[in-house]
Amino acid sequence: AVKCSPGGPNDYIYVIVQPPGWAKIAELIGRPELADDPEWATPEARLNKLDKMFQMIEEWTTQHDKWAIMDILNAVNVPCGPILSTKELLEDESLAKTGAVVEVEHPQRGAFKTVGCPIRLSDSPVEVYTSPALGEHNAEILQDIGIDPSELDALKEAGVI
């Protein structure tokens, strides 16, 4: 990932440098001659210079915010993706539409957003629920291990559960 403006902890973007996009990237970073330079023109030629390549890309990306970079690179079909803050993830409409971020209702805390299931299978729908409250299932578990339901109140009063 390379830094973007204004330079905060979440101001980064992944730029994928593939052969079809190299000339476009070279043009964008102000170094169009690199597209045909034998020292830079192929992935093999760039392999031992990846640090320098990404440094040159970053010199350009630090002049723009990650959203502008994404728009510019998308317009020329260069794969990229911004690094999102938690706030940006939770507010991203596309993630909500795909179910990657979902809203759940918690009995004490109310509604909140959380990560959904990232894997979608057509015949296996997934429902994301809130976590149980502390002790919410104590009675069921204690009954499963043989404690009589009539004893539960006495155990609660004694501070055992």
What is the tens place of the pLDDT at every residue in 124-161? 888 888 888 888 898 999 999 999 988 888 888 898 88
Distance (Å, whole) CA 147 – CA 138: 11
Stated as kind and residue range, the H or E segment containing 91 is helix 86-91
User: Can you point out the beta strands (E) in the chain?
Assistant: 2-3, 12-15, 80-82, 101-106, 110-115
Task: Give the per-residue pLDDT at 107.
Answer: 85
Give pLDDT tens digits for 6-59: 999 999 999 999 999 999 999 999 999 999 999 999 999 999 999 999 999 999
The pair of structure tokens assigned to 79 is: 């794969």
CA-to-CA distance for 147 and 40, rounded, in angstroms?
A: 74
Q: How confident is the model at residue 84 (pLDDT cuts 50, 70, 90)?
A: very high
- Do strands 110-115 and 80-82 pair parallel, antiparallel, or not at all (unpaired)? unpaired
pTM (two decimals):
0.72
Token pair 């938690």: residue: 86
Each domain of the chain, given as residue ranges in start order, spans 2-83, 90-157
In 9-109, DSSP assigns E strands to 12-15, 80-82, 101-106
Q: Which token pair is 145?
A: 């291990």
Task: Give 73's pLDDT tier (boundaries 50, 70, 90).
Answer: very high
Residue 1: predicted pLDDT: 96
The pLDDT score that the predictor gives to residue 51 is 98
pLDDT at 18: 97
Residue 119 has pLDDT above 90, yes or no: no
Domain 2-83 homologous superfamily, CATH: formyl-coa transferase, domain 3 (3.30.1540.10)
The answer on pLDDT for 77 being more than 90 is yes
Q: Using CA of residue 61, residue 62, residue 65, residue 68, what is the dihedral sign?
A: negative
